[in-house]
Structure 1
Amino acid sequence: MKSDICVRSDIVRYEHSGSVLQNWITRLGLECVDSYKIGLFGTLSFCGEVMSNFVLPPISDKYGRKFFTILGSTIQLTVYTLMLFSTSLTMTYCLMPFFGVTCSIRYCITYSHLMELYPPSKASSISAALFFLDGSLAVLCPLVLLATMDTNWLLIMGVGVNVGCLGLAGYIRPGESVKLLVTLGRYDEAKGELRRTKGFNGESEAVIEEGVEMIERYRVMQSQSSAEEVKEGKVDLKVRWWNMGMMVVCWVAVCYSYFLFVFFIKYLPADIYVVSIVSGLSTFGYLLQGPITTKYDIKMTQLISFVLVTLCLIITTIVGSLLNTYVYAIFILILKLFVCLAFGTVYVVHLDLFDSSFLGTSYGICNVVSRLVIISAPMVAEMENKSIPMLILLGMNLTATIATWFLKKKKTD
């Protein structure tokens, strides 16, 4: 037992008991340090993510994605394993930028790699399922911690590392993106990968050979490209950067909305475990993407999602002050449900807007800009007048709705 562990007047007593969660705060002796030393963990991770977004996605677009997919998982496992055994604050600080690098690889490169391994018709549903599983951790983790409060947290983290090992093993079988190889003009490699990974999507031998023939026809067509087609390529380049600007607007709106609601939810009058679990229920919004895209294309789905977010923000802004805390909380959760839907669509729509050779870079650019903008989200959330954050979000999402309308789909070969 540690009694009166801190000499600061605002910390009277700290005790280790079965009702106190033992975690990295106690292990690294951070109970009484200044808050900036704890905030430094997030800052270092953020710096690693932003810097890697500038470098790694463009490289993966030029040389291939599978290597970075495996590299990201390997770095993540290494970082978590070292954290299991490290009791050094300096060592943990040094690991944080690498953790940020893995986030960049996961969201900008691994996602692109995985989506291009599946037919476009399946991409939206698979993406929605992945984001739902990822978001469900916000529900699962508090439940696990609540149920295992008397269990050594290192054992739980060790289970996570083992699951990560299984994930890394699963990345080995899929090959490089055939679509990327064709876009880069590496046709023989593309045909080889197509044959090597046959059956990954359940295709028959005949379908695989048909794909090989299509690659060969595309090679011949590209070798006979005319000056007119070169001119069209310049037009496509203008469309690419137009779409890039529109998507940056959409990413900023959805990311700002998502993280601002995270700070809003902390004010709800409930136990932190309960708040985290209820907040995590909004991840069901990702699953709305599949049914909607069966009737509309992904651009229209994104437009619908931003319209719904905007309408909810208008209602909440007008009548929010008249609602009691619990009804207001329900409105916030509904808002976050639609924000999750928008968050999922802004990822998938890139597949319809950008060539494979620019896909990772497009994610990196959007990620960097949105991350830099949302730095102000905690300060905005703490404003005394809670209608101001809502008005800011309303303006952002209304602009994103307009930007989505003006997106231009890429030409298909």
Structure 2
Amino acid sequence: MKSDKELLSSIKISDKATNNSFTSTHDKEKQVIERLLIQSQDFTRSETAPTSPKNGATSIVSIDEAIKMTQKQQSWFQIITFVVISVPIMMSVTILYSIHYLQLEPKLLCSLDGKFYPCDKQEYCSLEIGVTSKIDLDNPYTLHNWIIDLDLVCAPQWKVAMLGVSLYIGYFVGSLFVGPYADIYGRRKIFLLTSLVFMISNGLMLVLLNVYAYSFLLFIYGMTGSGRMIVGHIYATEFFGGQSKGQQVMTTVIKVMCAATPIFTTTLFLYITKSWVVLYVIMLSLTGIGFIFSIFVPESPKYLVNIGKYDEAKEIIQNMSMINNNSRLDFILINEIEQKDNNLSQQKKITPQMGLYQKFISLLRNSDKVLMKRFYIMCAMWFLGYFGFIFMKLQIKNISGDVFQNTNFAALADVSGTLIIGVINLFLGIRLAFFISFMISVVFGILLMIFQSQTNENIISALVFFSNFGVSAAYLICLIGAVTLFPTKIKATSYSLGNMMSRFAGIFAPVFVEASAPIPMLTFISVSALGAVISLGLDTTIPVE
């Protein structure tokens, strides 16, 4: 006769099980747990803070509880893993947040009588380039970027625009496929694959100086950027357990690191070099280092449990415990199943093997109305939050002043908004954090529209800062919600769909920025107000797995 432990480990609940077999199997599981509880007075089970079993007794815990048990004394494994994965994530947004530098038009000089003077693009291109007109390479605001290397100074504007469009389309397409593939094939494989393709495509950009080749390679950059951002974010935070504050804190840290990348590029171009090649070499080097160390990072144990590979998941958890605590754990993993209205086995279930379309349809047909409402509201938050985020990034360029100072200004708004709202979220929750973020943008957006004719640049700068502050904070909460509000088996897919909505919003933002006043700011205010209202209906109960 099998022991209780063996019987428990042999229990399987099939997705195709009938009501009778489901009930029978579920009853067996309950009976085994009851016998274990009766036979062992030392057995401990806690929903919030699992403790070590006493006198050699075996703990029956969820995957989140098992991960928490590995962090009893130290969290070295989680910290090291987070640093290794976060470096490629940062590199995935470096060009996205700093592309205006790579497309910045150089300062030009023209000559009619042998003396050169500053001139505009139209006059420069009408003269004999290199003889009576030239690029002012000594000007501090002239960067040796794509415009110079790809000979785009006098090229049609659509060629320059094609570079940025290719990048954004790549991010959009990557959002469609990368997340679902991570649910099917695992976080680790997709993360390593996208990092490898990123290094190859960026290496080719150093030697293929052609605008059409660059457009294709930037498309690949965007696709792989989605992979590292979406999958890497989930991959890194899943080692902290879904019910802990660790995921929210680490998400905030990732957002701060990404938001600070424009400060890095500004410092690089302002004080160290004017060449974009140096930036790319740094990106490739850091991604390569992160890639090499990422090879030694195991698969997410939460993902392995979700696809039924319990032994592999437990072995990884044991290794985590050895690194953190220098001790092994004695536990059994169980998969908690919530049965609603006694019809769980009849529902159309969502499995990791489904594709994006099938998984989305399955999600729509799922009888869990709370999950569906949460999914719809989060998609709206992704769209509205990212629209405002990109809108203010583009609106900054219309502010007169130093381009380097304006870029640092926007980056500081992102960093401070991320840090402050991240703390607010820990104490007040995602719903109120969303509401506060959007309302900050509404209030300061209105003030900016009223006082935009103000001659005092400091007042305008302050209003722009706080308008950007709010939408940047809202975008952070989208990232936090993506990794905490959905179960593991659809987490990457829901993240991808939300990210897809955000990239879709990014396509519309430039259109409204270029519209006549007061349409741009009225649109920004309306979008932020709509986000504040919709956020109040969000259910923020963290799923137990």
Structure 1 length-normalised TM: 0.87
How far apart in 2 are the matches of 1:323 and 1:352?
A: 45
1:141-166 superposed Cα distances (whole Å, 9 cap, x missing partner):
1121111346x542343233211111
* Structure 1 position 322, deviation (Å): 5.7
1:240-255 equivalences in 2 (<5 Å): 240-255=371-386
* Contact preservation (8 Å) 1:57, 1:360: yes
* Structure 1 position 9, deviation (Å): 4.2
How far apart in 2 are the matches of 1:256 and 1:223?
A: 37
How far apart in 1 are the matches of 2:278 and 2:181?
A: 37
In the alignment, structure 1 residue 356 sits paired with structure 2 residue 488: yes
How far apart in 2 are the matches of 1:110 and 1:398?
A: 31
In the alignment, structure 1 residue 65 sits paired with structure 2 residue 187: yes
Change (3 A) 1:155 1:235: closer
Report the 3-state secondary structure (helix = DSSP H, G, I; strand = E; otherwise coil) of the residue aligned with 1:273: helix
Return the structure number with greater helix share.
Answer: 1
Note the residue ranges of structure 2 that are not aligned, 5 or more in a row.
Answer: 1-107, 112-119, 128-132, 350-364
Of the candidates 381, 400, 403, which is equivalent to residue 531 of structure 2?
400
Of the candidates 152, 166, 173, which is equivalent to residue 30 of structure 1?
152
* Contact preservation (8 Å) 2:174, 2:226: yes
Partner of 1:277: 408
State percent identity of aligned pairs. Answer: 20
How far apart in 1 are the matches of 2:400 and 2:276?
A: 27
How far apart in 1 are the matches of 2:449 and 2:345?
A: 50
* Contact preservation (8 Å) 1:174, 1:197: no
* Structure 1 position 189, deviation (Å): 2.6
1:197-231 superposed Cα distances (whole Å, 9 cap, x missing partner):
4456x35535xx25x42x1x33xx65999944446
How far apart in 1 are the matches of 2:225 and 2:445?
A: 30
Partner of 1:288: 420
* Contact preservation (8 Å) 1:62, 1:357: no
In the alignment, structure 1 residue 336 sits paired with structure 2 residue 468: yes
* Structure 1 position 325, deviation (Å): 4.1
In the alignment, structure 1 residue 305 sits paired with structure 2 residue 433: no
* Contact preservation (8 Å) 2:451, 2:460: no
In the alignment, structure 1 residue 266 sits paired with structure 2 residue 424: no
Partner of 1:184: 307
* Structure 1 position 36, deviation (Å): 0.6
Partner of 1:141: 265
How far apart in 2 are the matches of 1:401 and 1:224?
A: 34
How far apart in 1 are the matches of 2:208 and 2:396?
A: 33
How far apart in 2 are the matches of 1:411 and 1:312?
A: 35
1:345-376 superposed Cα distances (whole Å, 9 cap, x missing partner):
11111233211111111121122222223322
1:128-152 superposed Cα distances (whole Å, 9 cap, x missing partner):
11111111111121121111346x5
How far apart in 2 are the matches of 1:326 and 1:193?
A: 54
In the alignment, structure 1 residue 124 sits paired with structure 2 residue 245: no
In the alignment, structure 1 residue 74 sits paired with structure 2 residue 74: no
Partner of 2:169: 47
The Cα RMSD (Å) is: 3.0
Change (3 A) 1:187 1:260: same
* Structure 1 position 10, deviation (Å): 5.6
1:53-112 superposed Cα distances (whole Å, 9 cap, x missing partner):
222211211221111111111111112211122223343233122111112112221111
* Contact preservation (8 Å) 1:313, 1:390: yes
How far apart in 1 are the matches of 2:507 and 2:391?
A: 10
Change (3 A) 1:259 1:102: same
Change (3 A) 1:25 1:315: closer
1:286-322 superposed Cα distances (whole Å, 9 cap, x missing partner):
1113422342233332333223333333444455556
> Which moved further from structure 2: 139-148 or 371-380?
371-380
Give aligned pairs, total: 402
Report the 3-state secondary structure (helix = DSSP H, G, I; strand = E; otherwise coil) of the residue aligned with 1:205: coil
* Contact preservation (8 Å) 2:439, 2:470: no
Partner of 2:115: none
Report the 3-state secondary structure (helix = DSSP H, G, I; strand = E; otherwise coil) of the residue aligned with 2:206: helix
* Contact preservation (8 Å) 2:389, 2:472: yes
Note the residue ranges of structure 1 that are not aligned, 5 or more in a row.
Answer: none
Change (3 A) 1:191 1:299: farther
1:198-213 equivalences in 2 (<5 Å): 198=321, 202-203=324-325, 205-206=327-328, 209=329, 212-213=331-332
Change (3 A) 1:224 1:306: closer
> Which moved further from structure 2: 243-252 or 41-50?
41-50
In the alignment, structure 1 residue 346 sits paired with structure 2 residue 478: yes
Give the structure, 1 or 2, with the largest relative contact order (CA under 8 Å, sep 6 or more).
1
In the alignment, structure 1 residue 115 sits paired with structure 2 residue 237: yes
1:157-168 equivalences in 2 (<5 Å): 157-168=280-291
The one-letter code matched in structure 2 to 1:50 is F
